[in-house]
Amino acid sequence: MIGVLINVGAIILGSALGCLIGKGFSRRVREAVMSASAICVVVIGISGALKTSDITITIISVVLGALLGGLIGIEKHLDSLGEYAQKRLAGNSEGSGFANGFVTATLVFCVGAMAIVGSLDSGIRGDNSTLIAKSVLDGVCAMIFAGSMGIGVMLSALAVLAYQGAIALLGQLIAPIFTQELIAEMSAAGGIMIIGVGLNLLQIRKEKIPVGDMLPGIFMPALVLPVYNWISSLVG
């Protein structure tokens, strides 16, 4: 868990620095940084989405995830959490901004091969090198995101602790499940959602894309991929 804790600490430190630095800039500068961050988020999402070996798997996973998340109402719960946390931590009710920071940072920090492979290496072999390298990247990103989106970014450290911590602690049991193919498909599904987050930050649509409802789609490839490969073998 040492590597996971270092990663969490880097996100908290980066977020704190970003919030402090961001307060010193004018509204115009913060908006410029927000736009730049949003474009970078879209690029990160595209790079992740392109890792799929079959776009059909990605589409099915994201759609099924959105269906499940919509039925549960994840987006609504996240907005409610954002409003509550914003009132408690920042003294106002701009919950959507808080939730945007949380969802954006959580997806960027948790989606991808480094999060999964690094946590497995840490839990199974005690090798924290991948997570330490990821910590540097996440700390810088957290500082940039927090400077434009606020303290909601810091809350993503809890999601990273739960997600990467679970993978590290259960490494021996789940390592056979996380094949390179599955990791690639999970990254691709997450990449689609990160693109949605970036588009929300750019305010391209009048209505916000409910990325929160799509979150279960990150894990759907674990169900979709075996079934898809089985059907493909029958057809082939």
Question: Among positive and negative, which fits the CA dihedral 99, 40, 202, 63?
Answer: negative
Separation of alpha carbons 174 and 231, rounded Å: 24
Question: What is the reported pLDDT for 115?
Answer: 87
- pTM for this model (two decimals): 0.78
Mean pLDDT, the chain, rounded, equals 85
Question: What is the reported pLDDT for 62?
Answer: 94
Reported as a pLDDT band with limits 50, 70 and 90, residue 7 is: very high
Q: Is the pLDDT of residue 95 over 70?
A: no
Pair 109, 165: CB distance under 8 Å: no
Question: What is the reported pLDDT for 93?
Answer: 47
Find the mean pLDDT for residues 135-146.
89
How many domains, the chain?
1
Separation of alpha carbons 236 and 234, rounded Å: 5
Find the mean pLDDT for residues 14-33.
82
43-89 pLDDT, tens digit each: 888 988 888 989 999 999 999 999 999 999 888 877 777 666 666 66
Low-confidence winner among 16-30, 117-131, 155-169 (lowest mean pLDDT): 16-30
Pair 212, 107: CB distance under 8 Å: no
Query: Where in the sequence is the domain holding 73, given as residue range(s)?
Result: 2-235
Question: What is the reported pLDDT for 65?
Answer: 93
* Element holding 147 (H helix, E strand): helix 129-149
